[in-house]
Amino acid sequence: MKTEYATGYIRFHEERCTGCAECLKVCPTRAIRIRNRTSIRLVNLCIGCGACIRACAAGAISAATRPPQQIGNGHVAIALVSPVLYAQFPKAMPKDVLLGLRHMGFRHTIDMSIFLEMFQFAAAEFIRRNREIREAPWPLISPVCPAVVRLIAFQFPALLAHVLPVLRPVALMAREVKERIIPSYEAQGRQVVLYYLNPCPTMEQERLGPEGAPLKHAEVSIGINDLYPDLNQRIDAILSDVPAFSETHFEYETCASANAALVAMSGGEIASMRIEKSMAVHGLRDTIAYLQKIEMGLFPEVEYFEFRTCREGCLGGVLSAVDKYLARSNVQRMLHRNGLSRRVPGNTIRHLYDKGRFKPDKSPLTLTRFFGDRKPALSLEQMVYIEKILDTVAGWGCGACGAPDCPTFAEDVVRGEAELSGCQWLRPSQRHQPATPSEPGQGSPESGQ
Amino acid sequence: MASLKKIYFIKARDFVHAGEASIHVQNLLKSMHWDPGLIRRIAICSYEGEMNVVIHGGDGELNLSIENDRLTIEIIDEGPGIQDISLAMQPGYSTASDEAREMGFGAGMGLPNMQKNADEIQIESEPGIRTRASMTFFIESPEGTP
């Protein structure tokens, strides 16, 4: 029997599942169904927010990232470091963390500071110019959190035009590495592996070159939590010894400013952007609530929204190792110690901006196509049928049928993906008379969510 | 020809749950893949109407109807009513309470916004008894897709 399978962002370990159904209710896109009591199935609506991983006390759900193995063995290992990593180690300076990574086998450790700084500058530049030319509608929405962008593509397609069209910091960082570091190794015929050290689930399929062509070098995502135990030991060893200062090849292989760690905190992206009319919202629930409000025309006076689906921002990423509040306290310490110095002159970034170096690699429209086909449109007749079913079920949202709530169950029935008899609480008269789609539905105020 | 009717209850001064009926209407239209621009116009109207009840009205209800070539949102409440409808239609005119204004509502754009986004709008009010606002949107096909 197959007891483990991965689908997109999530890996499910069937033998550990207790059937508690906690994951059902927390999924924002209602992508989870439970079949046969202890087996979850993901309909293909997963946006990789990690809410189910957090909710699963049995450890049956994890990210589809790989545990670190044989780093640097037979290949050149390049680490793309999320600043969340620094916040995991209260006693270590970022340079110690990067050195620890090198001791683990990474040849290059790429810090995100410069790329975050450039992104923030470019974002502010776009907003400033947008005041004059109104190229995009207000409020603009930060593209930094990938789960937010996928949530918008899936649930709020009308807001895709609001997503700031500036290349994300991670993409800026990866492009720089691909242009400046990888070619020289490939010229020597050496295999390169890019490791993304992430606080959140990431899907391997996204790592394709232009036009979906496979890349020459390999790309791997590692959860910070998987990296933590080994790295922690190495950092302890470094701290107890006088650290041998390792030579660096590129200016972005060190971290001198606390700005990057600040960006990992909720509100940190806008904090150093100098955009007056901006707002930061974090947590899945509030993110959805505010997206709904923006869609209903609220906040036309706000210029920029920073959204993070994780509480406390990326520091609360589901794959981080230490608790978000401890991590926050560590960032505060970094702020006191290192300050917020900038390294790249504004003129340099503005020059790159005018050359189009910050144009996003994919337009929002590609995301519409990506999610648009996943849930075929329901007809008005089917909507009426759903209302009819909602009149016959108890409406308690018990989840015994395996769907997260009654409206989703009714929709599954209408789509032919579930049987009406799957409901344990059909009103007695309905138990042997399935509702038919022929009769028009009656209004029922309780049938909403 | 199928027709869909739904009734949502709106509670006066309940700012915590304000907007939920509109969100529900919106999700319903999204699952039919209606044009996002049309959904947004409907959502804005329904939200403004719902908020009017929350801010000014007594309790009320939102009636959604999708029939033939049109979607109608009707908002009825047992509130103080509107004394002068043409005055209330002017941008910036507002009689909202300080409580509502402190929460960021009551800028006097509700009715003008509804008028701007609906294909047809009808407002009737008997001051002290009830107010009824009905907004109609024409759709190209019953599925709402062009």
How is chain A split into domains, by residue range?
Answer: 4-63, 76-372, 380-447
Instruction: Name the residue among A165, A171, A173, A172 with its Cα closest to residue A123.
Output: A165
List all residues of chain B from 99 to 118 with a beta carbon under 8 Å from chain A: 113
- From A296, A372, A444, residue closest to B47, measured CB to CB: A296
- From A296, A379, A440, residue closest to B22, measured CB to CB: A296
B4 Cα to chain A: minimum distance (Å) = 6
B127 domain residue, yes or no: yes
pLDDT digits (tens, 9 = 90+) for A48-70: 999 999 999 999 999 988 778 88
pLDDT at A435 over 60: no
Task: Quote the ipTM score.
Answer: 0.85
B123 domain residue, yes or no: yes
Between helix A406-414 and helix A380-392 the angle, nearest 10°, is 130
Tell me whether residues A440 and B2 touch, CB distance under 8 A: yes
Contacts of A445 in chain B (CB under 8 A): 6-9, 61
Least confident interval from A311-315, B21-25, B105-109: B105-109
Give the residue with greater pLDDT, A111 vs A6. Answer: A111
pLDDT at A404: 93
pLDDT at A446 over 50: no
Mutate to test the interface with A, among B47, B103, B115 (most CBs of A within 10 A): B47
pLDDT at A209: 47
B144 domain residue, yes or no: no
> Residues B75, B50: contact at Cβ < 8 Å?
yes
B78 domain residue, yes or no: yes
| CATH of span A380-447 | 1.10.15.40
Average pLDDT over residues A163-172: 94
Q: pTM of this prediction?
A: 0.86
pLDDT digits (tens, 9 = 90+) for A307-355: 999 999 999 999 999 999 999 999 999 888 888 888 888 899 999 999 9
Interface of A with B (CB under 8 A): 155, 157-158, 292-293, 295-298, 372, 375, 377-381, 383-384, 387, 411, 440-445, 447-449
What's the CATH code of the domain at B97? 3.30.565.10
Give the residue with greater pLDDT, A271 vs A207. Answer: A271
A266 Cα to chain B: minimum distance (Å) = 23
- From A157, A383, A447, residue closest to B32, measured CB to CB: A383
**Across the strands, what pairs with A77?**
A193
Fold agreement between A4-63 and A380-447: no
Which structure tokens are listed for B133? 């606002």
Confidence tier at B88 by pLDDT (50, 70, 90) = confident
Instruction: Return the CATH architecture of domain A4-63.
Output: 2-Layer Sandwich (3.30)
- From A296, A384, A441, residue closest to B44, measured CB to CB: A296
pLDDT at A164: 95
Least confident interval from A72-81, A214-223, A244-253: A244-253
B143 domain residue, yes or no: no
Chain A nearest-CA residue for B27: A155
Q: Which of A117-126, B51-60, B73-82 has the highest mean pLDDT?
A: A117-126
